[in-house]
Copies of this chain bind each other. A is one copy, B any other.
């Protein structure tokens, strides 16, 4: 069986879980406490990050971006990047936007401070990072709303890796009650659409010791 090493509240791991599920590829999840630097895991992925995917034939693929490119090449039936050069550029531009800019401005300031610092035993969240995170999140929600209003899905007429990437980041923040969905009705409507997909169900069932998600987290008609 294909194995995915992951952490439940990592947006990068959630993205890969969504891609695998959308492509209907079965896999077994294994939680990897990367900060413990387990030797067998370092041999598998010297960068000591999650996610890492191990295929049944032994091929080991670390890094969510590398995994997603690999999965779209190896299992092309349900294409998630796009068919034309322009579509592929737009999907990857938005993936880089959410994994780069959104991550630096929002995810690290909120999830990084509230969750990652706690599980890694690095103390309390920094108040100014949280303030920055909440402010930047409003701007990003407006951008997502604008994209969702002018297109069917974030990168165009097809549901793509851009939607799954953005939704993976937002799902981690939403789990911790950090998303004010009143900022953009269009972003909220887009997220409700993504969240209703069968691929999302396992993410909504994740539970993490010490965090109670808000009532709307797993509610498809929130």
> How many residues of A sit at the interface, in one of the four size bands?
20 to 34
A73 contacts B by Cβ under 8 Å = yes
Among the listed stretches A17-25, A32-40, A81-89, A199-207, which one makes contact with chain B, having 4 or more residues with CB under 8 Å of it? Answer: A81-89
Contacts of A100 in B (CB 8 A): 47, 63
Contacts A47-B97, A97-B47 known; A74 to B85 CB distance under 8 Å? yes
Quick one: which of B63, B74, B92 contacts A63, CB cutoff 8 A?
Answer: B92
Contact B97 A70 (CB under 8 A): no
A11 within 8 A of B: no
Cα distance, A100 to B101, chains bound together (Å): 14
The contact string, 1 if C-beta is below 8 Å from chain B, for chain A 87-100, is 01100110011001
Q: Is A50 an interface residue (CB 8 A)?
A: no
- Contacting residues, chain B, for A74 (C-beta < 8 A): 85
CA distance A222 to B88 in the complex (A): 41
Using CB atoms, name the residue of chain B closest to A55: B85
CA distance A70 to B91 in the complex (A): 11
Q: In the complex, what's the smallest C-beta–C-beta distance from A18 to chain B, in angstroms?
A: 19
Give the docked Cα–Cα distance between A81 and B74 (Å).
15
* Interface residue from B59, B63, B86 paired with A96 (Cβ < 8 Å): B63
Instruction: Judge whether A127 is part of the interface by a CB distance below 8 angstroms.
Output: no
Task: Say whether A130 faces chain B, with CB atoms less than 8 Å apart.
Answer: no
CB pair A93–B66 under 8 Å, yes or no, is yes
In the docked arrangement, what's the CA distance between A59 and B100, Å? 22
Between A and B, 15 residue pairs with Cβ closer than 8 Å are A59-B86, A61-B93, A62-B93, A63-B92, A63-B93, A63-B96, A65-B92, A66-B89, A66-B92, A66-B93, A69-B88, A69-B92, A70-B85, A70-B89, A73-B88
